[in-house]
Each structure stands twice: as structure tokens, then as C-alpha cells.
């Protein structure tokens, strides 16, 4: 999709209509706490990742092709996104603290790490905790992790969207969609098939450029807790809060049961024994003249509703011979403003007390009514009861498999284990150390009114109109290549600008066709030696309204017939 200068100008105008300059008070920057130096923790866990120098011995990027659902454009779905382990480039909270970073915008990324040994959660509390730092914000993309099912086919280079996973957890945002995913795959004990169970009402993710801590706790009693920055944001039960539900219904409708042909579902019918009364007049009008009405005492019968405008005067260039007799425009009669009315009075209408309308038989209970039919219930042949869905399938690896419009998403301090206390201790040593530093840096980095934003995501229209339009158009085009509908929803101002260009273009073509496809009608010469064009101009002027001319100008003219 390419946009020319006209389109860009239209998009710019559309964006300008909704852009507002943000005034920020020029206050003193808050003091920033001193940075501490990173030291790896000694906390034990089934899997603990702080992205130390030997990280690449555990993590391997994928070289697989993403499942394109039958599309023959496989190259568009390849995991070409690059990964790096580096310190934050935005709001560094701990000196030397590195994390796993998504390096490419608008690309598919996949990377995974195998656990030292299989994680079996049966009868145990599962704790999943990690940090997410959206250094460039997040307009459209995911920042969630997957805990992969342990199996022999678990190869780093083949990790893809089709790789079986046990749990998917973390933030995801695009346009108006903003949620913290919690999805688990549940195995049907009767069929052996797996089905995704989605949290029905997930919490909202915080889209900020400072580090956010996400924690998932699943207990053996099938309850779960989701925390953000150590605070509970969602709690509930695996047996109650997920769709589809873990356990199917005990009874289902019999697919072989059909409604009998003589089944009656109409509860009320017209009374077959009723007949229209002899005095029922279907032709009586709905309204009749109110014969009892009398003319109000203050009604001014001899006053006109409108009068010539007393402030109007004949224009100096008015020619009675050419233009006809000048008549002043009319205005509402001020004498009628504070009375019941002016002009001839007539009796008003009122509702006809004899009006009955078209007769119809009254409704009665249907003696044949049997109720609303529904198939009979039978025992569900696929019924089972899993009382412990928290006993997840064994997990063998962790992976990030995401698509995002923003680069520099950073992941750090990943804890997978069974101790809530150890996860909280890790947060004390890492997240809670860097959080106050990052917040102070973010506060100090807030742009003043005269400053230019550091990132296109912070850009406002009046800061740099050309760059603002370019960034929005590029974002629209990038998303549209993947999903045009999502692009319209996500960047509606660009879509509106393009629509405005198309409408203007169509109108221009229509105007050109109209000018080239028809000839003006001939004008007869009229008046005493006056040119036809002059007379035509004066007549056109005579049709203008009072709203189009200065106060005092004529808005109504009469013309003499001329031969």
C-alpha cells in the first residue's frame, strides 16, 4: 500500500482534528535513587533464569516456519525475529542487569529453553513469575510465555505456534483488546484429546515502559491467583472461571429426539367464539373537531403572523425597471410573541371518544398448548469428571512465541517452581529494587511542553506533524498487510483520512464528467438592451436568502414581465 502526498495531507488533516497539545508543568525532576549492581540470586527453583552470560547454552531461537493455515506464503510466517540479551535502553533500574530482548518490530519471534528436568505439578502448588519491560510501549503484540508439554519431539529449532503447551500466561494487547492471558490445555480422560481452557474474564495488562511483574499461582485445590507487581488482580477456580468448562454436562439433549408434528407451542389464540359487536364502528375517525373549544381571549385575529422587516431597506443598486418592485423580507410578528396566537382562529382537533379501530377477537388460553418443545435429556456419553485439573501435564520447557509491532520488549527474572515464598523473595531482590529507580527515571523523563518526545509512541501531532503522520501511516500499512480489519480498528484516523481522499477523488471525477457531458441551456435576451448575462446574474442575486446577505439587504423581489 503506497500513499501519495494528497493522501498524506488528508490523513494529516484527519489526525489534526483529534490532536491536542499536551501542556506539562515545568516542575523539578524528582531525585533518582542510586543504582545497585546486579548480583545473581541463590534462590532455588525448578527453573530460574536471570540471563547471565551463559544464557545461550539454555536458550535457542527457533528456525521453524509458523503454521500459515494453508497459505502458500510460508516465508511471511517464518520466525525471523532476532533475540538479544542486554541491559535496558530505557529506565535502567540495576547496573549490569540484563534481560532477553525482542529486537525486531512487526516480526514473528520464537525462542525456548528446556528445563533441567521435567516439572510435574501433581499435588503441588505451581508458581510462574517473570518480568516484562515494554521499553517502546505496546500497541499491538504479545508478551506472554508458554510452558511446553514434555515430550520426545521437544526440539529448540522446531518450536512454533503448533508446539503443544500446558500453560500460556502473560500480557497481550492490540487496539482495544488488552488482557493478561491465562490459558491451560486440558486432556480429556475419555478421548485423550486436548482442549484449550481460557480464563473468561482476564485482568487488564498495564502498558508502561517500566518493569511489570506478572505472577500466576495455581494451588492443588484448583484455585488460582494472578498478581501484578505483587498485588492480587484476579482469583478464582479452574472448575468455574474457564471457557469451555473443564467438565462437560452430565446430561445432553438427545440428538435423535424430534418434535412431534402435532406439538402445539402457541400459548394464546384468538377466541374462535368471539364476534364483532353490532355497534362497533371501524370507520370512526381517530380525531374530531373539539366543538367545546373557544377562542382564547388574547388571540389577535387581525394580526398577521409575519410582517415586513422594518429594518430592511431597498439596496442602492436596485433598479425598479430591471429588477421589479422591491418587497422587504418578512419576519415574525413581535405582537404574536406573548399571546396565544395570531390570524384566523379555528377549533382544534381532539381524540375521538367513539374511535375503536379495526376489531379483532380477544386472545384466550390455547387449550391445545403443550409448552415450548425441547429434546429430552439423556446421559452424556462423553461425560467425565476431573476433580483435579490443577494436576497439569508434565512440562519440559519454556518458550516465547510472539508477534509484536514494537521492539525492545525485555523479559527477565523468570521463576518456575512450587514455592510462593521463594518467588516473593526473588521479587524482593530484583523487581522491588529496580521499580523505584525506574519510576523516578520515568517521572524525570516526562516531556515538557517545549520538548520533543524521544519515541514515536510519545509523539503528538503538534510536536512534529510530518513525523506524526508518517509514523501513523507506517503503522497502518504494516498492520494492514497482516489484517486490514485490525488496521482500521487500530489506526482509525488513517483509515478515515484515506476514505476522505477517495470521496474527494470520486466527487472530482463526477464534477469533471458533469462539465464535459452536458451543455448549458441557451439564455434568451431580455430587458432594455441589457445583456442576458447581466439579467441572469441579477435574478440569481434575487434568490439569495437573508442568511446569505448583510442585514438590511432585500431577500425577496418581484419582477415585471418583459417582452
- Residue 431 has a CB neighbour count (10 Å cut-off) of 24
* R_g over Cα of the chain: 39
State pLDDT tens for residues 416-434: 999 999 999 999 999 999 9
d(CA 221, CA 390): 7
Nearest to 146 by CA among 411, 342, 365, 378: 411
Cell numbers placing 470: 508518517
Give the pLDDT score at 66: 63
Give the pLDDT score at 157: 86
- Residue 538 has a CB neighbour count (10 Å cut-off) of 19
pTM of the full structure: 0.61
Residue 253's alpha-carbon distances to 190, 379, 383, in angstroms, are 20, 9, 13
- Domain formed by 45-246+389-444, architecture: Sandwich (2.60)
d(CA 244, CA 395): 22
- Residue 415 has a CB neighbour count (10 Å cut-off) of 26
Cell numbers placing 138: 505496546
Coil/strand/helix, residue 319: coil
d(CA 389, CA 238): 7
State pLDDT tens for residues 32-44: 677 888 888 889 9
Give the pLDDT score at 103: 94
Give the pLDDT score at 530: 39
What does the buried/exposed string (b/e) look like for 134-164 if buried means 16 or more CB atoms within 10 Å of the residue's CB? bbbbbbbbbbbbbbbbbeeebebeebbbebe
Q: What is the largest distance, in Å, between two alpha-carbon atoms of the chain? A: 110
Q: Which residues contact 431 (CB under 8 A, 6 or more apart)?
A: 131, 211, 213, 229, 230, 413
For β-strands 36-37 and 94-95, DSSP reports them as parallel
Nearest to 245 by CA among 392, 391, 385: 385
For β-strands 223-228 and 231-237, DSSP reports them as antiparallel
What does the buried/exposed string (b/e) look like for 384-394 if buried means 16 or more CB atoms within 10 Å of the residue's CB? eebeebbbbbe
State pLDDT tens for residues 287-308: 999 999 999 999 999 999 999 9
Give the pLDDT score at 478: 64
503 pLDDT above the threshold of 90: no
- Answer whether 165's CB lies under 8 Å from 70's CB: no
Q: 348 or 488, which is more confident?
A: 348
d(CA 344, CA 547): 30
Cell numbers placing 284: 370512526
pLDDT band at 105 (very low <50, low <70, confident <90, very high): very high
pLDDT band at 350 (very low <50, low <70, confident <90, very high): very high
DSSP classification of residue 207: -
For the chain, what are the domain ranges? 1-24+449-475+486-515, 45-246+389-444
d(CA 135, CA 126): 29
State pLDDT tens for residues 459-482: 455 555 665 666 667 666 767 666
H runs (alpha helix) in 256-359: 320-323
pLDDT band at 560 (very low <50, low <70, confident <90, very high): very low
228 pLDDT above the threshold of 90: yes
C-alpha of 94 from chain center: 37
d(CA 168, CA 150): 15
Q: What are phi and psi of 455, to 5 degrees?
A: -125, 145
DSSP characters over 209-257: SSEEEEEEEE-TTSEEEEEETTEEEEEEETTTSEES-SSPPSEEE-TT-
d(CA 351, CA 334): 32
Nearest to 91 by CA among 547, 435, 470: 435
Q: 316 or 19, which is more confident?
A: 316
Mean pLDDT computed over 98-121: 94
- Answer whether 147's CB lies under 8 Å from 416's CB: yes
State pLDDT tens for residues 238-253: 999 999 999 999 999 9
**CA torsion angle for 540, 541, 542, 543 (degrees, to 10)?**
60
**CA torsion angle for 356, 359, 363, 366 (degrees, to 10)?**
180
54 pLDDT above the threshold of 50: yes
d(CA 550, CA 411): 69
Residue 192 region, left (φ>0) first, then alpha (ψ -120 to 50), else beta? Answer: left
pLDDT band at 501 (very low <50, low <70, confident <90, very high): low
Nearest to 432 by CA among 128, 30, 46, 131: 131
Amino acid at each position: 500500500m503506497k500513499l501519495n502526498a494528497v493522501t498524506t495531507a488528508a490523513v494529516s488533516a484527519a489526525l489534526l482534528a483529534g490532536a491536542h497539545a499536551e501542556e506539562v508543568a515545568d516542575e523539578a525532576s524528582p531525585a533518582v535513587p542510586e543504582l545497585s549492581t546486579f548480583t545473581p540470586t541463590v534462590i532455588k527453583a525448578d527453573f530460574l533464569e536471570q540471563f547471565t552470560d551463559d544464557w545461550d547454552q539454555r536458550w535457542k531461537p527457533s528456525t521453524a516456519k509458523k503454521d500459515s493455515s494453508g497459505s502458500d506464503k510460508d516465508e511471511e510466517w517464518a520466525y525471523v525475529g532476532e533475540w538479544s540479551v542486554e541491559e535496558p535502553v530505557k529506565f535502567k533500574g540495576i547496573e549490569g542487569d540484563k534481560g532477553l530482548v525482542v529486537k525486531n518490530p512487526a516480526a514473528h519471534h520464537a525462542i525456548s529453553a528446556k528445563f533441567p528436568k521435567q516439572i510435574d505439578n501433581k499435588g503441588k502448588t505451581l508458581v510462574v513469575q517473570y518480568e516484562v519491560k515494554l521499553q517502546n510501549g505496546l500497541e499491538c503484540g504479545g508478551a506472554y510465555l508458554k510452558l511446553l508439554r514434555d515430550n520426545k519431539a521437544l526440539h529448540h529449532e522446531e518450536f512454533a505456534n503448533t508446539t503443544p503447551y500446558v500453560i500460556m500466561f502473560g500480557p497481550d494487547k492490540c487496539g482495544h483488546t488488552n488482557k493478561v492471558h491465562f490459558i491451560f490445555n486440558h486432556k480429556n480422560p475419555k478421548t485423550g484429546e486436548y482442549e484449550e481452557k481460557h480464563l473468561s474474564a482476564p485482568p487488564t495488562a498495564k502498558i508502561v515502559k517500566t518493569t511489570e511483574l506478572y505472577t500466576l499461582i495455581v494451588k492443588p485445590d484448583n484455585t488460582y491467583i494472578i498478581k501484578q507487581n505483587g498485588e492480587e488482580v484476579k482469583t478464582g477456580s479452574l472448575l468455574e472461571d474457564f471457557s469451555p468448562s473443564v467438565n462437560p454436562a452430565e446430561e445432553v439433549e438427545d440428538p435423535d429426539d424430534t418434535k412431534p408434528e402435532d406439538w402445539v407451542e402457541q400459548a394464546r389464540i384468538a377466541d374462535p367464539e368471539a364476534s364483532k359487536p353490532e355497534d362497533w364502528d371501524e370507520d370512526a375517525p381517530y380525531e374530531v373537531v373539539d366543538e367545546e373549544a373557544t377562542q382564547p381571549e388574547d388571540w389577535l385575529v387581525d394580526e398577521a403572523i409575519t410582517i415586513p422587516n422594518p429594518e430592511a431597506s431597498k439596496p442602492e443598486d436596485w433598479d425598479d425597471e430591471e429588477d421589479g418592485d422591491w418587497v422587504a423580507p418578512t419576519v415574525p410578528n413581535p405582537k404574536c410573541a406573548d399571546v396565544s396566537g395570531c390570524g384566523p382562529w379555528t377549533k382544534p382537533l381532539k381524540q375521538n371518544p367513539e374511535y375503536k379501530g379495526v376489531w379483532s377477537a380477544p386472545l384466550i388460553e390455547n387449550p391445545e398448548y403443550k409448552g415450548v418443545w425441547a429434546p429430552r435429556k439423556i446421559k452424556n456419553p462423553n461425560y467425565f469428571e476431573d476433580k483435579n485439573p490443577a494436576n497439569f501435564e508434565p512440562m519440559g520447557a519454556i518458550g516465547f512465541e510472539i508477534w509484536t509491532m514494537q521492539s525492545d520488549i525485555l523479559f527477565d527474572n523468570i521463576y518456575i517452581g512450587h514455592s510462593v515464598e521463594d518467588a516473593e523473595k526473588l521479587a524482593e531482590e530484583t523487581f522491588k529494587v529496580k521499580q523505584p529507580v525506574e519510576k523516578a527515571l520515568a517521572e524525570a523523563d516526562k516531556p515538557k511542553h517545549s520538548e520533543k518526545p524521544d519515541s514515536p509512541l510519545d509523539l503528538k501531532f503538534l510536536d512534529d506533524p510530518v513525523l506524526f503522520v508518517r509514523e501513523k501511516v507506517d503503522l497502518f500499512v504494516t498492520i494492514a498487510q497482516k489484517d486490514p480489519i485490525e488496521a482500521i480498528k487500530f489506526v482509525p484516523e488513517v483509515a478515515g483520512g484515506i476514505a476522505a481522499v477517495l470521496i474527494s477523488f470520486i466527487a472530482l471525477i463526477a464534477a469533471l464528467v458533469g462539465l464535459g457531458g452536458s451543455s448549458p441551456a441557451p439564455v434568451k435576451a431580455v430587458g432594455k438592451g441589457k445583456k442576458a448575462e447581466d439579467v441572469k446574474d441579477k435574478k440569481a442575486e434575487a434568490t439569495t436568502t437573508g442568511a446569505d446577505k448583510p442585514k438590511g439587504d432585500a431577500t425577496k423581489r418581484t419582477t415585471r414581465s418583459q417582452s
